[in-house]
Amino acid sequence: MTAIRSIISGLLISVFSITLAALEWGENNIIKFKPETDSPYALFLDYENIDAGGGCIKAADPANSWVRTYDLFTGTDFLPHSAFLNIVNSSTDSYITLLVRDSINDEILAKQNFSQTGFLSLTNIFKKEVYLMVEFHGTNLQLFSFGLKRIPREIIRPAEFEVGPYLCFYGITNLNININLRIPSLIDMIVYDEYGTIVHYVQKQKYLPQGQYEFYWKPEEQKNKNNLKSGSYFIYIRAKSIDGKTIELSKKFLFIKN
């Protein structure tokens, strides 16, 4: 094994250009790993006790067989969505462990055992640099391919920022604000009038985990309620995600005060 690692390390620079080409994201934002015909081990950074011939990966040792991919960069505007395994046959006495690990500190981000084809959800993971590791337990399973799927990194989709009702009557209706926050973020939410004057802070520098939220603006409960006038108003939201991306959205509504 030490000799194999030395050979791989020595060849890393020479095959790096090949690796970059091989690790390009597919049209469905998927990277897939499977043995290549000419060089079965080309896509793997490191491995031990595996047979990668015949178009599949098989364990050579029932107790200690594994393979590790190169580091995968999901991209500035993407996040990992799921990892997957395609197993040729299923078994009751063997299984494969799929691990997703952080490339920076080697932390295990997600882990699951499989005895047949399946996927591992990564929707609550916000790392951009990861790698996959596959561990074989038993020798009765053949792994055809495995890989990673990514999705666009969105904080709040414009369609998932809802404000209503469009006509807000003083003392009769409250304004409802709904958002679907896809990444934990720091939130500012402001009501301002058509002249750009801030009327109220619905949320100010509020950290919110991922999830769906509903907020309210009740005009009759505001300290400046006597100064409110009928006209056009706006709800503005600024969300800064935990990885530094910022989105700003605003929606217009009409406020009616008799």
Overall number of domains in the chain: 2
Whether residue 13 has pLDDT greater than 70: no
Q: Which of 7-16, 48-57, 244-253 has the lowest mean pLDDT?
A: 7-16
Are 127 and 7 members of one domain?
yes
Characterise 149 by phi-psi region: left (phi > 0), alpha (psi -120 to 50), beta (else).
Answer: beta
Per-residue pLDDT at 197 = 92
Whether residue 148 is found in the same domain as residue 178: no
* 153-164 tens-digit pLDDT: 889 999 999 999
**What global pTM score does this model have?**
0.72
Do residue 197 and residue 114 come from a single domain?
Answer: no
Amino acid present at 91: S
pLDDT at 21: 36
Question: Are 131 and 111 within 8 A, CB to CB?
Answer: no
- The reported pLDDT for the residue numbered 242 is 83
Q: Which helix (H) or strand (E) holds 47?
A: strand 44-48
**What pLDDT is stored for residue 132 in this prediction?**
98
Positive or negative, the CA dihedral 7, 48, 147, 129 is negative
Which of these, 170, 182, 172, lies nearest to 229 by C-alpha position?
170
Please state the rounded mean pLDDT for residues 128-139. 95
Q: Which of 131, 152, 173 is the last residue of a domain?
A: 152
Q: What is residue 14's predicted lDDT score, i.e. its pLDDT?
A: 34
pLDDT confidence of residue 176? 95
Are 246 and 238 spatial neighbours (Cβ–Cβ below 8 Å)?
A: yes
Structural domain boundaries enclosing 238: 158-256
Beta strand 167-169 with 246-256: parallel, antiparallel or unpaired?
parallel
Please check the confidence at residue 68 and state whether its pLDDT lies above 70: yes
- Check residue 10 and give its pLDDT: 39
pLDDT band for 245, please (50, 70, 90 cuts): confident
Domain harbouring 51, CATH code:
2.60.120.260
Q: Which residue, 202, 201, 253, 257, is CA-closest to 232?
A: 253
Domain-terminating residue out of 96, 122, 152: 152
The predicted model gives 177-182 an average pLDDT of 95
More confident call, 151 vs 5: 151
Average pLDDT over residues 71-93: 91
Of 22 and 206, more confident = 206
pLDDT at position 171, please?
85
Q: Return the amino acid letter for 219.
A: P
Domain of 241, CATH number, reads 2.60.40.2550
* Same domain for 120 and 205: no
Mean pLDDT of 77-102: 93
**Residues 144, 164 within the same domain:** no
Mean pLDDT of 41-48: 93
| CA 135 – CA 144 distance, rounded (Å) | 14
Half-sphere exposure of 110 (CA within 13 A, CB side): 21
Whether pLDDT at 129 is above 60:
yes
CA 152, distance to chain mean position in Å, is 8
Residue 16 has pLDDT above 50, yes or no: no
Mean pLDDT score across all residues of the chain: 88
